[in-house]
Every structure is written in structure tokens, then in C-alpha cells.
Amino acid sequence: MPEPLIHHPEQLAEVRQRYLRLYTGAIADMLDKHGCRQQILPHYVRPLTTANRLAGVAFTARGRPVADPASNDMPTRLAMLDSLTPGAITLWSCGGSLDCAHWGEIMSTAARQRGCTGAVLDGGVRDLDFVNAMGFPVFARYRSAGTSIGRWEIQDYQEPIRIGETTIRPGDFVFGDIDGVVIVPAELTLEVLAAAEDLFSREGSMREELRRGVSIQEAYAKYGSL
């Protein structure tokens, strides 16, 4: 696993707030420039809550479908929730499970109390009225009323996982907005942030010039490649 570049809660809080001023397109473009072209989660992982922006350090979990009413992953699930750290985003690889909710209001409440700032999963979510009332962002594949008990179980957590074509390691940086989710390798967290901030600033200047009637060719020549 990568060595974290962010060692103190105060630094993580600052980095999170800087990322939250940006947008996924700028971050994805800077990842492309670093040769990291598989860092965007699949299009179906999208915000299903009214809170639709999140940023933080990846805390991963992985599970698999089961067909056994006696299956009970509660000890692992509770241990995982108690292990969450402030500023984390929990990401779940659900192993292709499509017939239940893997996340809901009670887990959102427990996660938020540990300082977790959002959840991302390639599975289902339920209790959305309650989660929306909390203002807790959840990005997921679909909605489902079904419990995961007897249908799905957690296998492990804080190990590398894969969602779509993207590998996510504990400690990677996660950013999501209305357009989707991008994963920044831990070792590039600060470098990509600075580059995306520069792009954001140049885009703002270009936008103002275009509004004043400057041609796109002139503005592009002045502010460089976007």
C-alpha cells in the first residue's frame, strides 16, 4: 500500500477543502497528463443523495454475493465501521451483487460519527430519505429496499479493491461530484491538486475573456492548453 503523504488531520482537512473547490473534470484531466488514464470510476457510480460532493482518503472494503439466509457478516461489518478514520471516504467493491442494498442510514450515521465524510460503492443504497436528512453523500450504482443479510457479505477491508477498471488502494485520494468519481493515487495527491487548481484558475480567466467577447482562439493562445 502507498505511504500517505498527508500525516496530520489538519493537513487532510485543508487538502479536502481545496479539492472541494474544484471539479472532477479538472482533476481527471490532470491525471491524464500524469499518464493515469484509468482513474475514473464507471459512469453508473453516481450520487444518489442530494449531497453530491465528497473528498477524502480512501478506506476500502470488499464483499461478495451469497445465497444463505444464515450468512452473517455483522462482526466484520461492525469492526470495519469502528475502524473508519476522520476525513475518510469508504469505498466498497460489491462483487457484482445487484439484488440488495449494501449501504443505508444506520451505516451512514455510524460512519459520520467516526468522521467519515462519504461513501462510494458499486452496489445499492437504501433509506435515502434518512440519509438525505443527514446531508451525507453516498455515490452508488442503484437503489434497493432489500437487506444485504443473507444476500451479500463483507470479506475484508483496508485492502486494494477494484471498481470497473480502477484499482483503489487504502490511502488514495477520492473526489466525487455530480459528474462522477475520480481516484487520485496517494503519491500524486498534492501534485494533482496543485495542477488542477492552476487549471481551474486559467479556465476562470479564459471564461471571463470569452464573456467580454474575446475570440476562443485569442483566449486559448493566452491561457494555454486546457
Helix ranges (DSSP H) in 87-188: 105-113, 128-134
Closest to 177 measured CA to CA, from 40, 29, 38: 40
DSSP helix/strand/coil, 142: strand
* 9-186 classified as CATH 3.40.50.2000: no
Question: Which residues is 166 bridged to in the sheet?
Answer: 163
* pLDDT beyond 70 at 2: no
DSSP state of 39: -
pLDDT tens figures, 37-81: 999 999 999 999 999 999 999 999 999 999 999 988 999 999 999
**CA quadruple 54, 137, 44, 67: dihedral sign:** positive
The two beta strands, 161-163 and 166-168, are antiparallel
Residue 3 — pLDDT band, cuts 50, 70, 90? low
CA atoms within 13 A on the CB side of 11: 7
What's this model's pTM, rounded to 2 decimal places? Answer: 0.91
Question: Which residues is 167 bridged to in the sheet?
Answer: 162
CA distance 30 to 13: 22
pLDDT tens figures, 136-145: 999 999 999 9
The two beta strands, 138-140 and 119-121, are parallel
